[in-house]
Amino acid sequence: MPSPALPEKRWSIDLEKSIQEAHYADNALYTQRYAFNPDSGKEIFVIDTPPPYPSGTWHIGAVAQYSMIDVIARSQRLLGKEVYFPWGVDRNGINIEFVVERNTKRKMKTYDRAEFLELCRTTIEEFTEAMRHTGKRVGLSCDYDREYLTDAPDYRSVTQSIFVELFKKGDVIEDLRPNIYDPVEGTTIADAEVERLPRKTKLVDVRWTCEDGTELVISTTRPEMICACGVVVVHPEDERYTHLVGQKVALPLETNGREKTVNIMTHPSVKSDFGTGILMVCSFGDQNDVAVFRELGLTPFQAIDLDGKMTDVAGPFAGMKVIEARNAAIEALEIQGDLVQAVERNQDIPVSERGKNPVEIILLKEWYVRQTHIQEKMKEHVDEIEFHPPRNRQFLLDWMDNISIDWPISRRRWYHTEIPIWYSEDNSKVIVPPSGTYVQPWRESPPSGSRVLDRVTREDLGSYDDLEADLGLVTGEEKVFDTWMDSSNSNLFVSGYLNHPEVFEKAFPTAFRPQGKEIVRTWLYYTLLKSTLVLDQPGFKHVWIDGLGMDPWGRKMSKSLGNGIDADSVLECGAGGRTGSWKVKGPDKTVSLRANKIGSECFRLWKACDAQVGDDFHINPEEIEKKYFGVLTKLFNVARFASQFDVPTNLDEEPKHLEPEDRWILAEFQRTMNSVEAAWSDLDIYTATQGLKTFGTGLLPSHYLEMVKSRLYDEDIAAAWTLHRIVRDFMAAFSPVCPFFTHHISQTVYGHSSVDIDSFPVQAFSEVAAGTEEGLRLCKLSTELQDFNSQVWGAKKESGTSLNQPIQGIVVPESLVEFEGTLTRMHKLE
RNA sequence: GGGCUCGUGGUCUAGGGGUUAUGACGUCGCCUUCACAUGGCGAAGAUCGUCGGUUCAAUUCCGACCGAGCCCA
């Protein structure tokens, strides 16, 4: 027997790693394979990959999702598309500021701004490097040479240019509105940066007096805010207070510069069973107050300043810190005799994630992107986008229905993209930079080519170069953008907007947006908003929304639960003979999970086969190995078995004579390949992979191989041709899922790597093509053939006959008569 | 508390108004070493979350509830 061309006895993690390393080491070949070449003439398929945020560890669920994006990228290349699979890293934002503060034990605002930015940049670069490594370990075929970083000038200039464009069109506005503010850190923060901590607070009952002398008792934890009270409300169906509605009630504490009474009105948000069922609404005690002020059209008071101190409106308490003012107010109420009672109470209060400081909602002049006026238009665009799975479109539509206020985009932070604007000395004019320029207004003057605009009407008044002398002392904006302002340009950036107009022409709407469902309302929504505002087009052709990676019991993985599984440990499991073990906190007790070998190919196969896109998936290394490593072994063995027979010189030309079993398996193979090709076209990883797995581990080895073994050993040309043709094309179709596995086999056995194939292998076998009468007839025989083989194997088992011993009394049924000779030989029927 | 999504053998999963509900892993029994024990044959194991409704007929459609998850309060 000739020795197999595939020398390795089995697939192993060490083999996988050495193939992978060689693959990434040859940069010229890598570029030829995977780099984006917009001039290739092929249909362009740009993937708007979610740029990961480097924070030290990359969540295994995200790595799994990323590997599926790679499957899409590779399958689209296989279908002949020119794929741009960018490698981008999101590096703007608050997280890295936290890390630097923690590392240096110094607050951001105690630094020189430039110095702090440099610290952030060097710190995040270390994290980025670890992420690149994991990306390659899981086999991503990104265009790493074109890596983009959202904190780099080329990326930030796009964000700034879009801002300027929207500002000119009037879709970006500045306004004084309530914002969440951390008075200790001195910065606005986003909703997402607020968390709740339990604290003991005093709930005080305060007596208020109406104009007709009726006395009310209102419970509050924030008596210092009485000075900012705009209205007192009760529930519309609360009959206890119906008679009070419409009256005026006097504020029980002294104030300064405002009317001393407020109206009593109704509002459905009041909880009648809380305290006395009467609520004072202040600007702003909490988010509900903000909503009530807006709905009732009340003018808010500024009761707390940027230092967290009470303003003049607080009368005697002006200048005190919030907590001091609260105690002073309680004392004053007690002296006046208006304090009915005070009880200690546990309450979850909103604090900043960063400093654990209680946050306040205060009025600040900030920048906003207008969005409420454009929802209908956006919906039309969303209708044109194909969602995978279709049901996940609903996440977006529901969120769009809830949009009621504009998007605040400015932040008082540093490691973000700067808002590109300067103000004239009299504040009536603004200066904006020319498109494509990255500027840092907090430390630079406007560059040459900047335009001067009227701050209100947005009228273009001329160039900065001409008008500079008339503007007086120009001040640069110090604020920066919300990071979503950057992230929501990713599709524009990777599709070539501004930087490569000729590519953009061909590449937009961006072909493919893959992402997790938890950021539909941020990343997806804001991106589509931008596409509508800037280009009046849908941002994408396909949006692919995957579920989340959960722990083995279906719970979210988190540091606090202690149920996380590190991605690298799974990918390296089995390397160098080291096994993997994970201690994971389960619902009842800590469970120890063990696996011997997983690696990237098995990990990818698992994700591709185990869950449909859109479903949450449980990550259990034990299960990954048990269910899918065997599949790789089986496929490897089939290839290794085939590789001991000479490869016919021309695999593309069908031999003159094929035996019935060859024609049968070719018909089945063709059917599988057709459905796999259709599935790859539909971005349906699950169906494609399942189809290949079923064929490659079932029909092919168990039935066809057993039928043709003796012919193969007799050096039958038709059998060798059929087997090799199938194995070769199978590896091509399977290469998106397990690129290194198929690369190794196809390169070794056929001298041509499956990852270099750029058109789906055509199966045009004479007479047996799927859909032809003969093809259908042969496929219909499959079930019968499998049943017959099982029947013989079962009969041998029952009679204690070994499989290679003859058996008597079994007759090939009439329907399988064309296989009679083969089956008789295969089973040694007598 | 609100909105949305999901709920199929021990675990994961396919499917879908109609006779015995798909497959995989695991379990149990048997076989075997001629590419593959990372194999083969076979068995057990599911009132398709619960309760109502629509229907000649529901696990499949509708509603409520329960449970899980996501996002937002």
Q: How many Å apart are A769 CA and B47 C1'?
A: 45
Decide which of A362, A394, A413 is a domain's last residue.
A362
Is A792 within a domain?
A: no
Residue A88, classified by CB atoms within 10 Å of its CB into exposed (0-12), middle (13-18) or buried (19+), is buried
Is A802 within a domain?
A: no
| Residue with more model confidence, A213 or A87 | A87
Q: Can you tell me which residue has its alpha carbon closest to the C1' of nucleotide B35?
A: A641
Confidence of residue A765 (pLDDT cuts 50, 70, 90): confident
* Buried/exposed code over A599-637 (b: 16+ C-beta within 10 A; e: otherwise): bbbbbbbbbbbbbebbeebebbbbebbeebbebbebbbb
Q: How many Å apart are A393 CA and B51 C1'?
A: 31
Confidence of residue A570 (pLDDT cuts 50, 70, 90): very high
Lowest pLDDT segment from A69-73, A203-207, A487-491:
A203-207
- What is the pLDDT at residue A389? 84
Q: Can you tell me which residue has its alpha carbon closest to the C1' of nucleotide B23?
A: A694
Is A668 within a domain?
A: yes
Decide which of A341, A362, A383 is a domain's last residue.
A362
Q: How many Å apart are A604 CA and B57 C1'?
A: 43
Is A647 within a domain?
A: yes
For A98-119, what is the mean pLDDT?
Answer: 92
Is A256 within a domain?
A: yes
Shortest CA to C1' contact from A269: nucleotide: B1
pLDDT mean across residues, chain A = 88
Q: Can you tell me which residue has its alpha carbon closest to the C1' of nucleotide B24?
A: A627
Q: How many Å apart are A611 CA and B8 C1'?
A: 15
Q: How many Å apart are A42 CA and B55 C1'?
A: 53
Decide which of A335, A362, A389 is a domain's last residue.
A362
Q: Is the pLDDT of residue A769 over 70?
A: no
Sheet with A460-463, edge to edge strand ranges:
A460-463, A451-454, A429-432, A422-423, A475-476
Shortest CA to C1' contact from A389: nucleotide: B5
- Written as six digits, the tokens of A459 are 């009228």
The structural domain count of chain A equals 2
DSSP string, A550-590: E-TTSPBP-TTTT---BHHHHHTTTGGG--EEEEEE-SSSE
Shortest CA to C1' contact from A638: nucleotide: B35
A132-153 pLDDT per residue, tens? 999 999 999 999 999 999 999 9
Q: Is the pLDDT of residue A191 over 70?
A: no
CATH of the domain at A279: 3.90.740.10
For A156-165, what is the mean pLDDT?
Answer: 97
Is A533 within a domain?
A: no
Report ipTM for this prediction.
0.86
Q: Is the pLDDT of residue A801 over 80?
A: no
Residue A820 is inside which H or E element, if any?
Answer: helix A820-827
* Residue A323 domain boundaries: 187-362
Q: Can you tell me which residue has its alpha carbon closest to the C1' of nucleotide B30?
A: A797
- What is the pLDDT at residue A405? 75
Those nucleotides of strand B lying less than 7 Å from any protein Cβ are 3-6, 11-15, 23-26, 30-36, 38-42, 68-73
Confidence of residue A559 (pLDDT cuts 50, 70, 90): confident
Q: How many Å apart are A507 CA and B7 C1'?
A: 41
CATH of the domain at A656: 1.10.730.10
A619-673 pLDDT per residue, tens? 888 888 888 998 999 999 999 999 999 999 888 888 888 899 999 899 889 888 9
Q: Is the pLDDT of residue A1 over 60?
A: no
Is A339 within a domain?
A: yes
A748-758 pLDDT per residue, tens? 999 999 999 99
Query: By the 8 A CB rule, do A531 and A491 touch?
Result: yes
Query: By the 8 A CB rule, do A574 and A588 touch?
Result: no
Q: Can you tell me which residue has its alpha carbon closest to the C1' of nucleotide B38?
A: A630
Q: Is the pLDDT of residue A796 over 90?
A: no
Q: How many Å apart are A673 CA and B35 C1'?
A: 24
Q: Is the pLDDT of residue A563 over 90?
A: no
- Written as six digits, the tokens of A299 are 């003018």
Q: Can you tell me which residue has its alpha carbon closest to the C1' of nucleotide B6?
A: A615
Q: Is the pLDDT of residue A268 over 80?
A: no
- What is the pLDDT at residue A347? 67
Q: How many Å apart are A392 CA and B54 C1'?
A: 28
Shortest CA to C1' contact from A787: nucleotide: B41
Confidence of residue A190 (pLDDT cuts 50, 70, 90): low
Is A591 within a domain?
A: no
| Residue with more model confidence, A4 or A273 | A4
- Written as six digits, the tokens of A468 are 């500079």
- What is the pLDDT at residue A464? 96
Q: What angle do CA A480, A162, A378 make, to 5 degrees?
A: 110
Q: Is the pLDDT of residue A162 over 80?
A: yes
Q: How many Å apart are A554 CA and B50 C1'?
A: 21
Maximum separation of any 2 CA atoms in chain A, in Å: 112
Q: How many Å apart are A776 CA and B55 C1'?
A: 37
Shortest CA to C1' contact from A614: nucleotide: B5
